[in-house]
A and B are shown apart, each in its own frame.
Chain A
């Protein structure tokens, strides 16, 4: 049982559009961000400056899987850092995903088609970038690999 104040916040978040939620999560970053981390990536020293919920344990392979290894490697070699602006550029052309429901559970799924429309309801499109901010790169990579992932 959450406190009334927390319940009010949760209700407000649930009423938000995906875009509003993404912006909220970005604003939260000032409270949750970790110190920028420096890693060795394919021979380059890269500074990672992203919210911890976006990329855990510097698992850049998850970004490679979604965007393509060559593109990620070339971009990070050029920029020397992975921050919100670089991430937005890398994910700018990634296909849209969908949030949907089935059996009182929420899922992130990769396609809205005859099959998924028979299984799920309440489709809400969400860009890959917004999905990454809300659910993390690991969850989005899971969707690309398995076609869907449970989000709540």
Chain B
């Protein structure tokens, strides 16, 4: 769903990968291939059918990588991919945020877990599209809440 001007103003401006980190890392080969079949949207208030649910205590304890999802908000709204999805074209071997965007600009992007308590657990740990600005972080939490989800920062 197209992002409204309200959310563009709160979440933007759109940036290219690592722009907020002074380009301290480079996009490597295979990291900007869009894996369309593995990317999915969030439908209002509903967890995706086949998503991996994780116990909240485990999420808070060690933010498990097996059930970690990467999310990006760009002009088309929020899209996700499971980080552990294999990417044989990249030396890292798994997905990164630019495998959602193709390396194009986006407003925000970080990580989340689907809690077994029907809550989204979100962090702000992405060098590619993440922001350390508390105003942005508050806007991100509000955006997910506006989609009908209970959200907790982890």
Chain B hits for A94, CB < 8 A: 24
Would you give the shortest CB distance from B108 to chain A, in whole angstroms? Answer: 13
Question: Which of A20-28, A30-38, A144-152 binds B?
Answer: A144-152
Chain B, range 1-55, C-beta contacts under 8 Å to A: 21-22, 24-26, 28-29
**Are B22's CB and A95's CB within 8 A?**
yes
| B100 on the A face (CB < 8 A) | no
Known A61-B28, A61-B91, A111-B132; contact A147-B22, beta-carbon cutoff 8 A: no
| B125 on the A face (CB < 8 A) | yes
Known A115-B132, A116-B132; contact A69-B24, beta-carbon cutoff 8 A: no
| A110 on the B face (CB < 8 A) | yes
| A65 on the B face (CB < 8 A) | yes
| A89 on the B face (CB < 8 A) | no
Per the CB 8 Å criterion, the residue count for chain B at the interface is 20
Contact string against A for B residues 96-138, beta-carbon threshold 8 Å, 1 for contact and 0 otherwise: 1000000000000000000000000000111110101110010
Chain A hits for B132, CB < 8 A: 111, 113-116, 147
Q: Interface size for chain A: under 10, 10 to 19, 20 to 34, or 35 or more residues? A: 20 to 34
**Are A110's CB and B127's CB within 8 A?**
yes
Known A111-B132, A114-B134; contact A147-B125, beta-carbon cutoff 8 A: yes
| A64 on the B face (CB < 8 A) | yes
A-B contact pairs, 10 of them (CB 8 A): A64-B28, A65-B25, A65-B26, A67-B26, A68-B26, A113-B132, A115-B133, A141-B25, A146-B125, A147-B127
Q: Mark A residues whose CB is within 8 Å of B.
A: 59, 61, 64-69, 94-95, 110-111, 113-116, 141, 144-148
Q: Mark B residues whose CB is within 8 Å of A.
A: 21-22, 24-26, 28-29, 91-92, 96, 124-128, 130, 132-134, 137
